[in-house]
Chains A and B, each alone.
Chain A
Amino acid sequence: MIATMSFHRILPGLLLIMALAAPAAAQQPTSVNPTASSVKEKQLLEALKPNSGDTLSGRVSIPDKRAGDLIQPGGTEFREFHEKTLGRIGIIAIPGMLALLVMFYFIRGRVPIEGGPSGQTIVRFGWMSRFVHWLTATSFLALGLSGLNLVFGKSILLPVIGASAFSWLSQLGKFVHNYVSFAFALGIILMFVMWVKDNLPALRDIRWIAQAGGLLGIGHPPADRFNAGQKLMFWSTIVGGAALSVSGYIMMFRPASLAMSAFQLATVVHGVTGLVLVAIIAAHIYIGSVGMEGAFAAMGKGKVDLNWAKSHHSIWVDKVAKNRPQDISQNTAGGRAPAPAE
């Protein structure tokens, strides 16, 4: 009774509410079509277009948050670079450089010591310098070869030695590449500390470059401890070595804080820098061995012929003669006697 009464009392109110709600209810579609707000792969990929390398990510309930990356279109560009561009860069840089060096050898021949060997030597590099140089050099050779194997081995070595032997070799190469990298990085740091002060650019470097370091036959430009060519070599090694180390350790340790695009970029930087540096070092090896008489002794025995030093590093020789005359040896047996002092 009471309920009926109260129903009668609220009935007008209910009717009013229903009347107000009716238009809203009429707007509701009979079947829900979420297409308008649902997420389609194409729409999301299109939304990513300004940064097509970006990753489409969501939430995952497993601890590996990287698994939240659903689709990363950047992989396609990475593949394109890795399989086409990188190989092209390598083919231009390395055989190109070797061809240049062979050509240079046939045109210029071995660059002799100006005035012939004097028989007198001057201390060029101490044991520490030579140790660091050869530490870096041998590790770079190991890294370069194992690195080149990963780029070109598949097309050159694999068909020759077969899949298992090639895999074994590449696995060994990977371990060598990973562990020797620490020696290389250490060498780069030590070289930088040891030689940076003698490799700062100077005004006379412009003249040295203009005269191509004496190669054009218009006289030897003066140079201090390192000439402009060596400075370029030094900075290529430091900058290239630093880029290789940083990008390499990103690839090796793969920090969780970095996005996929960072790893791909690191791989691109590592590959290009590696190939270019191998080409540059090939020129360095050439000029330090067969390309120039007397040059190897600097990193070999640590002492060079005085005449070699005078033509390539005139200012440095003067400084040594003034500050550390004991570094210049007296005439040794077999050498030509120096001109007697007046």
Chain B
Amino acid sequence: MARMKFLCDADRCIECNACVTACKNENDVPWGINRRRVVTINDGKPGERSVSMACMHCSDAPCAAVCPVDCFYTTEDAVVLHSKELCIGCGYCFYACPFGAPQYPKQANFGSRGKMDKCTYCAGGPEADNSKEEYAAYGSNRLSEGKLPLCAEMCSTKALLAGDGQIIAQIYKERVAKRGYGSGAWGWKTAYKEDIAT
């Protein structure tokens, strides 16, 4: 099986936020939650960079390690998913996640944290693939249909790449060789304990 990864080529990202919108629409993401967002660092200064960031689906995921009810699991494609049935909304994964992926809707009693929501790599959850229950809780399951996450699929500049880690790393390497400089494989060192040598 492929080891699925995200890669954002910060040299190409133009901060159009189409990935953010596509994700919200495709997965019916609850109000106030952004599974993906575009962060611009050094805004307006030399070296400005925009990076589209979501759950990176880490190897040895910190969220899964700190979860007190063990609600996370990693699929055969190395996608990190969780069960909203089991989640108690404690917030530990939010503290441990290096990428700020876990978020909580304010829906429980007295406005306390509800079940955690995060990027599913468009791969749904533990419920039956493409079932009504799965869609309601986690959104679309494109991966089961052989499609990649919509955010990357519709990126206009192809800055955001999704797919087998080795293939997208190769695409990125070719780009870097052609244009003569890299832009940093954002989050790779933190998430996968490896960088792309260019």
The chain A residues found within 8 Å of chain B, CB to CB, are 31, 33-35, 37-42, 44-45, 56-62, 64, 66-73, 75-76, 78-79, 82-83, 149-151, 153-154, 158, 163-164, 166-167, 170-171, 173-175, 178, 251-252, 254, 260, 263-264, 267
Contacts and interface: CB of A to CB of B under 8 A. Distances in A.
Interface residues of B, number: 57
Contacts of B192: none
A79 B61 CA distance: 10
Contacts of B112: 178, 252
Contacts of B98: 71-73, 75-76
- Chain B contact residues, majority secondary structure: loop
A262 to B, nearest CB: 10
A62 B187 CA distance: 21
A82 B66 contact: yes
A150 B182 CA distance: 43
Q: Tell me if A's interface is mostly helix, strand, loop or mixed.
A: helix
Contacts of B49: 38-39
Contacts, number: 158
A150 B93 CA distance: 13
A87 B147 CA distance: 42
B19 to A, nearest CB: 12
A71 B68 contact: no
Contacts of A175: 109
10 contacts: A41-B187, A42-B189, A59-B39, A68-B39, A71-B98, A78-B62, A82-B92, A82-B96, A167-B69, A263-B91
Contacts of A167: 69, 71, 85-88
Contacts of A164: 85-86
Interface stretch (B40-48, B129-137, B167-175): B40-48
Contact of B38 (A57, A60, A73, A154): A60
